[in-house]
Amino acid sequence: MRVGLLGVGRLGATHAATAAALPDVTELRIYDADPERARMVAAPLASAKVAATVDEALDGAYAAIVVTPTDTHAPLIMRCLDSGVATFCEKPIAIGIAETQAIVDHVARTAGRLQIGFQRRFDSGYQRARAAIRAGELGTVYSFLMVSCDRTPPADAYIATSGGQFKDQFIHDFDITRWLLDDEVEQITAIGSARGFPTYEAMNDVGTSAVMMRMKQGTIGLATALRHNEAGYDIHVEIHGGKDTIAIGIDPRTPWRSMEADAPAFASPPYPSFHVRFADAYRAELAHFMRFARGERENPCTAADALEALRIAEAAGRSFRERRSVPLTEIA
């Protein structure tokens, strides 16, 4: 199978190595706006070739992996789907609701195959937690806590085009909340601060924030995020039910029942990077995409899922700006 990979920044380079190692990828054509970076990523990969243009990367491709800047996602998805190319795209589809809705509609119109990159759905800890919740092992789920810490803050140039912390960093938390609980967010209350990052404030963004969520079934959740935590990359979750409490991404020696019992000793949190924390999940995600591209598996993460996560992020941003709680019904 020939695969076109567009964009080899930090995550794109990881996806390139993962895709090249998959047994059904016979040729990986890599395009990046920086040709030298593309050559460096392709050099150690036996099946990889550097493409001079997007057209060359997609020529004859059965599938495409899009890891370019966010503002290029939607047009590249359209281009791939119109060519009948199964497409994997990193989150988010777009910064705006209207552009994302247009992709949802286009997927339906073309019967296109589009999987969105929310890798936490493929992490073994999250999968075990979801299974425990569905099996009723926790009883009634009353509350949850999610913590997301980057090790080092992204460059200001990235922040300027990211859509802000609620749409960039929190988008994973919003998606996994829906997936874990099989429930929808009903109301959002968000606060934030640019302490330590005056350049963020100038861009109307924050470096530290907290979001309180009320789910339709009554579960209450709190998610916090910060861009700077030199102790390491830290993603963890607590879920509290009437019968039990479980934890994801926390050292197995905690008193709660951890979903990380099989985590290797070297990978105890916090982690050196997101590549280490979710290495297995990224591999499982792309392996599933290849099977989905061939029609052998269902789509685990649709454009409609991405739209719902973006609606929650939009509500969080509105809550922060207007200093009030925002019901999701306000976000059309």
Contacts of 288 (CB under 8 A, 6+ apart): 115, 122, 297, 300
Class of domain 123-274+301-330: alpha beta
**Nearest 5°: phi and psi at 269?**
-70, 155
Residues linked to residue 86 through DSSP beta bridges, in sequence order: 63
Contact 39, 50 (CB under 8 A): yes
pLDDT at 256 over 60: no
Helices (H), 3-121: 10-21, 35-42, 54-58, 70-82, 97-110
DSSP assignment of 214-275, as one string? EETTS-EEEEEEES--TT-BEEEEEEEESS-EEEESS-TTSSSEES-TT--GGGPSSBS-HH
Task: Report the alpha-carbon distance of residue 18 to residue 325 in Å, rounded.
Answer: 41
Query: Same CATH fold, 123-274+301-330 and 2-119?
Result: no
Query: What does pTM read for this prediction?
Result: 0.93
pLDDT score recorded for residue 262: 54
Fold of the domain spanning 2-119 = Rossmann fold (3.40.50)
Tens of pLDDT, residues 179-237: 999 999 999 999 999 999 999 999 999 999 999 999 999 999 999 999 999 999 999 99
The radius of gyration of the chain from alpha carbons, rounded to an integer in Å, stands at: 20
Tens of pLDDT, residues 98-126: 999 999 999 999 999 999 999 999 999 99
Domain boundaries, the chain: 2-119, 123-274+301-330
Residues linked to residue 189 through DSSP beta bridges, in sequence order: 212
Q: What is the mean pLDDT of the chain?
A: 94
- The overall longest dimension of the chain from CA atoms, in Å, is 57
